Structure 1
Amino acid sequence: MLRIIELTNKNTIATKASGKLRKEDIEKIHPLIHAILDKGMKVRWYFEMENFTGWDLPGLWKDLKMDTAHAKDYEKIAMVGDKKWQEWIAQFMKPFTNAEIKYFNLDEKEDAKSWIESQ
């Protein structure tokens, strides 16, 4: 499940993922991305993972398609989690986007929020 937890400033999307992400979860984010792009801004995404187990196959496919379609539209991505594989995902994403991607542990989520909002 993907829950929108806050929109702190005009170009930041903040979400919390738990369990498995499905195609419908990823589809929730797409209009938010376009609302930011329509204002002429780049997207910043705070992505918190707690009890997150990954994606089902249609969800993974939808996420990959969205990420590649918008690879140049992201400015910063803060990945916040508590598993080594989640940190690896953050590293894996770097060649596919121009965004600055940073991984934070769950106990550093306030630092991640400050970083995503900083210039």
Structure 2
Amino acid sequence: MITSNHGLSVGIERVNGELFVKLSVVGKLTHEDYEVFTPMLDSAIKEVPNTEVNVVVDLTHFEGWELRAAWDDFKLGLKHGRNFCKIAMIGSKTWQEAAAKVGSWFISGEMKTFATEAEAMAWISNNS
């Protein structure tokens, strides 16, 4: 029997009045994963007066989306794209840089890819 793990680990923090979201993505995401995650993000953004959100996404164990989950991800970007200030993606897959470029069409903030969490956190913490 082969075990297949997938899903999102979500950390939502407020640091000095700013919303900070840290995601760790494992396996192939499903529509059900987004049904859990999306209301959490919606609620966090709604509750913060300054809705500029910084996001760090660990994609080192990410294998992609099911079709419906990819659509969920696209809708999430359209809904909250104006709220994202910086999105740092951790991982070394070449498609991530292309995803960052495409994603930047739908969000108001910056997206960058990094090989390590330390590099991503340094960039996301830099307010300049």
1:36 corresponds to = 45
Question: Which has the higher Rg, Structure 1 or Structure 2?
Answer: 2
SS in 2 for 1:14: strand
| Structure 1 gap segments, 5+ residues each | none
| Residue 7 of structure 1: how far off its partner (Å) | 3.5
| Structure 2 gap segments, 5+ residues each | 1-6
Residue 35 of structure 1 aligns with an amino acid whose one-letter code is A
Does 2:117 match 1:115?
A: no
Alignment of 1:1-119 (within 5 A): 1-4=7-10, 7=13, 9=15, 10-30=18-38, 31-41=40-50, 42-105=52-115, 108-119=116-127
* Separation (CA, whole Å) in 2 of partners of 1:82 and 1:68: 26
Normalization by structure 1: what TM-score?
0.85
RMSD: 1.8
* Separation (CA, whole Å) in 1 of partners of 2:8 and 2:126: 24
Q: Which has the higher contact order (CA 8 A, sep 6+)?
A: 1
Question: Identity percentage over the alignment?
Answer: 31
Normalization by structure 2: what TM-score?
0.80
Indicate if the aligned counterparts of 1:76 and 1:100 stay in contact, CA closer than 8 A.
Answer: yes
Counterparts in 2 of 1:110 and 1:20: CA distance versus 1, 3 Å: same
* Separation (CA, whole Å) in 1 of partners of 2:21 and 2:89: 12
Residue 50 of structure 1 aligns with an amino acid whose one-letter code is T
| Residue 37 of structure 1: how far off its partner (Å) | 3.7
| Residue 38 of structure 1: how far off its partner (Å) | 2.4
| Residue 56 of structure 1: how far off its partner (Å) | 0.4
| Residue 32 of structure 1: how far off its partner (Å) | 2.8
The size of the alignment, in residue pairs, is: 117
* Separation (CA, whole Å) in 1 of partners of 2:64 and 2:93: 11
Counterparts in 2 of 1:35 and 1:15: CA distance versus 1, 3 Å: same
